[in-house]
Amino acid sequence: MTARPLDTARSASAPSSALRGEPLLDVSRLTVEYVTERGAVLACNEVSFTLRRGEILGLAGESGSGKSSLITALTRLQRLPALTTGGEIRYHTRDGHLLDLVTLDERRLRPLRWTELAIVLQSAMAAFNPVMRLKAQFADVIVEHQPGITGDEVAERTGRLLRMVGIAPERAHSYPHELSGGMRQRALIALALACEPELVVMDEPTTAVDVVMQRQIMAQILRLQRRLGFAVVFVTHDLSLLMEIADRIAIMYAGRIVEIGAPQQLYTDPLHPYTRGLRDAFPPLHAPLTKLAGIPGSPPDLRDPPPGCAFHPRCAQRLPECEQVLPRLHQVLPQHGERQVACLLHDSIDPGGEAS
Amino acid sequence: MTTAAPTSDATDEPALLAAVDVSKHFTVRDQLGRKATVRAVEHASVALHRGRVVALVGESGSGKTTLARMLAQFHPVSSGEIRLAGHRAPPAGRGYFRQVQLIFQDPFSSLNTLHKVRHILGRVLRVHGHAHTRAEVEEQVLSLLNRVNLTPAEEFIDKRPREMSGGQLQRVAIARALAVRPTVLLGDEPISMLDVSIRLDVLNLLARLCDEEGLALLYITHDIASARYLCDEVQVMYAGQTVEGGPKEAVIQSPKHPYTRLLIDSSPDPDRTGRGLRDQDDAEDLGEPPNLTAPPDGCRFHPRCPFAMDDCRRAFPDRTTFADGQWAHCWLHQHGRSAELDRTTSKELP
Ligand SMILES: Nc1ncnc2c1ncn2[C@@H]1O[C@H](COP(=O)(O)OP(=O)(O)OP(=O)(O)O)[C@@H](O)[C@H]1O
Ligand SMILES: Nc1ncnc2c1ncn2[C@@H]1O[C@H](COP(=O)(O)OP(=O)(O)OP(=O)(O)O)[C@@H](O)[C@H]1O
Ligand code: SF4
Ligand SMILES: [Mg+2]
Ligand SMILES: [Mg+2]
């Protein structure tokens, strides 16, 4: 794996920008289970979607809906008792090869980590080694992917990465606990970008910081993303944040994607009743206030999900068949834009009703 | 309204609970074992009235929890006074907690998970002498469960915490606070651990308790939109100082302190028009929240404030009061520069 120096105009040069919008990841029928004494938990249930190069895909849904399970499966960072028990994750390399990340062995996976796939987790404290200075942790990642790089070059690159996220290069000498929470989180983002990955997966990277810092970090992520062209899968329960950053948003409920589409469409014209409920669960900051109702009931137990549509016990619009028939994620009529939804209220455009 | 008085509204009754010019300093030791003082809250005042909700917002570490703990008398004040119904509050104890109840952020750790709801609520009723016989306990527990919408109450009374969702648990925590029959509830981020889809239920419940039962509520949150939804009045803290307060729409729609402005401009807003996050170009570093063992002099926001002037570094500004009771501590108003706050777009803010 050849590492590319940062700030050489990779994103401006032909390959990556020419590929923008091409598929990067094709996920199909991905199923993730937790094997427990009390039975299997279906954390992701036949999840399918395509991620394009340079795209920001937001993933929203309530606690326990399977968001973290999905992205740890995507990056192959899952650990027992989580198991990917079905489906494929086809990864398109820059030079046109297709790899199935589900079956790829560790030896071939290793070089992809950091240079192709990087992850930023909610807790930077847990991601960094507490007894190593930042510079040593950056060096580990950089050297592993670019053996033979000199110490000076590593130091210089580390400084540049930190500056990129608004941290003074001298702070490379600090231990993680010597940084504030917001700085640590930004340092983690810099580390994820150290080898210029194609895909950065972020699991609630800003929930531990307050809104001012969150906005600053988000603005930084977006600037870097525009410059370097990586694709992002961004997990959060905060739909209003996704509205501002995502190219597309996928809504998860009980282990399945129930709706996916462009933010504006999803917001102004949500098709799935759960999406609508989620949208209406955020009181406005400036618009006139009205009484909001939230979504009645509570999320299902994934050990024993309701039959049919898992949302039906909480759904005000349910039809009799919702209790038995599992709605598949399907394309809807063009007047709703390029969007897929899994709900029996919405007809599928292909008569078979099966899209995948 | 005088400059030193705590915020009060149109009501003539004294506040059910008020903090008057309170400060809290903690003594800590650093890694080398040296003593240092954390100036967590400085000269803060807040007044809670019957049937009204005050939201306390501000960044992490700004002293919101510390202020609530002083109100609940979990922390003694370093200076200033806590007043209950117009008089110096009696020492912390059962009598005080009968009036003032604190609800914590995390219902999972604040409830004993081994016992059934009947026991959790029944114990509080007995301890406070509201119920004596088994039948009285049963009847009152059921009525509490109905009040917090845990229905059918006959079913929930026999559940244990681990058989309930976070939203249901938080209602049990609220029911437990209500079992005491307090006049004041202090909610320290009572919905932040809950799922988005059930937060509104809890907010609506709290609103109903204030409207229908006349509880006074302090609502601590990071989430300005939820504060706007629930409260009557907002008070903003920054680094231990209360920098602004007043009727919610005044504070949220036309903030009079640069920090409030920054906080509101930073809050996610799906209706945001104009410059969103996506087309923000290179912004300067906003700087870090201050270290409270060595806080900046004067207005603690000055190192991050685009308007900072010499006075800001020298002294904390007096309170300026505006029409409809909104107030702020900011030198801009004392230098005739109030209009700059409205003129500056969020782009020019840090
Ligand atoms: N180690 C585990 N053993 C058993 N079940 C688990 C384990 N980890 C997660 N689960 C279950 O898998 C489901 C999906 O969990 P996951 O962490 O992916 O949800 P999430 O959408 O990321 O939620 P959150 O918003 O709370 O982070 C949940 O029902 C959860 O209880
Ligand atoms: N018991 C304590 N000993 C020493 N310092 C403390 C103690 N409690 C709080 N502090 C410090 O006081 C300051 C204010 O903390 P506080 O918990 O009141 O903030 P907060 O506004 O509630 O923050 P958050 O939004 O993160 O809950 C912080 O700097 C904190 O580290
Ligand atoms: S399929 Fe039925 S139950 Fe499910 S969300 Fe749609 S309407 Fe509701
Ligand atoms: Mg998660
Ligand atoms: Mg707090």
Which amino acid does the sequence have at A268? T
At residue A94, does pLDDT exceed 70? yes
Does the residue B210 lie in any domain? yes
Q: Cβ–Cβ of A211/B198 closer than 8 Å? A: no
Torsion of CA B182, B172, A251, B266, to 10 degrees: 30
Task: Spell out the SS3 assignment of chain A.
Answer: CCCCCCCCCCCCCHHHHHHCCCEEEEEEEEEEEEEECCEEEEEEEEEEEEEECCCEEEEECCCCCCHHHHHHHHCCCCCCCEEEEEEEEEEECCCCCEEECCCCCHHHHHHHECCCEEEECCCHHHHCCCCCCHHHHHHHHHHHHCCCCCHHHHHHHHHHHHHHCCCCHHHHHCCHHHCCHHHHHHHHHHHHCCCCCCEEEEECCCCCCCHHHHHHHHHHHHHHHHHHCCEEEEECCCHHHHHHHCCEEEEEECCEEEEEECHHHHHHCCCCHHHHHHHCCCCCCCCCCCCCCCCCCCCCCCCCCCCCCCCHHHCCCCCHHHHCCCCCCEECCHHHCCCEECCCCCCCCCCCCCCC
List the single residue in B200, B268, B281 with the smallest CB-CB distance to A294.
B200
List the single residue in B59, B198, B253 with the smallest CB-CB distance to A286.
B253
Q: Cβ–Cβ of B197/A289 closer than 8 Å? A: no
From CA A267, how far away is CA B271, in angstroms rounded? 10
Among A205-214, A282-291, B251-260, where is mean pLDDT lowest?
A205-214
From CA A267, how far away is CA B146, in angstroms rounded? 34
Total domains in the fold of chain B: 1
* CATH code assigned at B76: 3.40.50.300
The backbone region for B149, taken as left when phi is positive above 0, alpha when psi lies in -120 to 50, beta otherwise, is: left
Distance from the CA of B63 to the center of ligand 2, in angstroms? 5
From CA B68, how far away is CA B46, in angstroms rounded? 10
Neighbours of B254 (CB within 10 A): 15
Does the residue B173 lie in any domain? no
Q: What is the pLDDT of residues B60-112, one digit of tens each?
A: 889 999 999 999 999 999 999 999 999 999 988 888 999 999 988 777 777 77
The encoded tokens of residue A175 equal: 């231990």
At residue A356, does pLDDT exceed 90? no
At residue A188, does pLDDT exceed 70? yes
Closest CA to ligand 1's atom 28: A64
Interface check A301 vs B, CB under 8 A: no
Strand partners, A119: A201
The backbone region for B335, taken as left when phi is positive above 0, alpha when psi lies in -120 to 50, beta otherwise, is: alpha
Chain B interface disruption, residue of A165, A183, A204, A215, most B CBs within 10 A: A215
pLDDT in the model for residue B31 = 63
Q: What angle do CA A176, A180, A181 make, to 5 degrees?
A: 90
Strands B100-103 and B320-321: unpaired
Does the residue B168 lie in any domain? no
Judging contacts by C-beta atoms under 8 Å, the chain B residues touching residue A59 are: none
At residue A210, does pLDDT exceed 50? yes
ipTM of the complex model: 0.81
Among A32-41, A119-128, B302-311, where is mean pLDDT lowest?
A119-128
Ligand 3 test: best mutation among A318, A325, A326, A348, most atoms within 8 Å of CB? A318
Domain that holds residue B296: 9-99+182-344
Ligand 3 test: best mutation among A259, A278, A312, A314, most atoms within 8 Å of CB? A312
Strands B327-328 and B53-58: unpaired
B231 DSSP 8-state letter: -
Interface check A285 vs B, CB under 8 A: yes
Does the residue B271 lie in any domain? yes
Which chain A residue has its CA at the smallest distance from B62's CA? A210
Which amino acid does the sequence have at A141? V
DSSP SS3 for B300: coil
Say how many residues make up chain B. 350
Q: Which residue in B10, B56, B7, B17 sits closest to B182, CA to CA?
A: B17
A 196-225 near B (Cβ less than 8 A):
209-216, 218-219, 222-223
pLDDT in the model for residue B171 = 85
The winner for highest mean pLDDT among A117-131, A136-150, B246-260 is B246-260
Task: Tell me the torsion sign for CA atoms B251, B252, B258, B259.
Answer: positive
Cβ B5 vs Cβ B47: under 8 Å: no
Interface check A293 vs B, CB under 8 A: yes
C-beta A237 within 6 A of ligand 1? yes
Q: What percent of chain A is predicted at pLDDT more than 70?
A: 89
Interface check A344 vs B, CB under 8 A: no
Torsion of CA B184, B234, B266, B255, to 10 degrees: -170
Q: Cβ–Cβ of B268/A283 closer than 8 Å? A: no
With bands split at pLDDT 50, 70 and 90, how would you rate the model's confidence at A313?
very high
Q: Cβ–Cβ of A212/B59 closer than 8 Å? A: yes
Looking at the CA of B35, which ligand is closest? Answer: 2
With bands split at pLDDT 50, 70 and 90, how would you rate the model's confidence at A22?
confident
Q: Which residue in A269, A277, A279, A281 sits closest to A332, CA to CA?
A: A269
From CA A295, how far away is CA A65, in angstroms rounded? 15
Does the residue B159 lie in any domain? no
C-beta A249 within 6 A of ligand 3? no
From CA A315, how far away is CA A39, in angstroms rounded? 27
Closest CA to ligand 2's atom 18: B63
The minimum CA-CA distance between B165 and chain A, rounded to whole Å, is 7
**Which residues sit with their C-beta closer than 6 Å to ligand 2?**
B 26, 28, 38, 40, 58, 60-66, 292
pLDDT in the model for residue B49 = 97
From CA A254, how far away is CA B306, in angstroms rounded? 46
Which chain A residue has its CA at the smallest distance from B263's CA? A212
Neighbours of A208 (CB within 10 A): 17
CA B337 to chain centre: 30
With bands split at pLDDT 50, 70 and 90, how would you rate the model's confidence at A19?
low
C-beta A78 within 6 A of ligand 1? no
Strand order through the sheet with A39-52: A39-52, A23-36, A82-92, A98-100
Looking at the CA of A322, which ligand is closest? Answer: 3
Distance from the CA of A76 to the center of ligand 2, in angstroms? 38
Higher pLDDT, A230 or A125: A230
Strand partners, B102: B186
Ranges of residues in chain B whose predicted pLDDT is under 70: 1-12, 30-31, 272-288, 343-350
Higher pLDDT, A20 or A285: A285
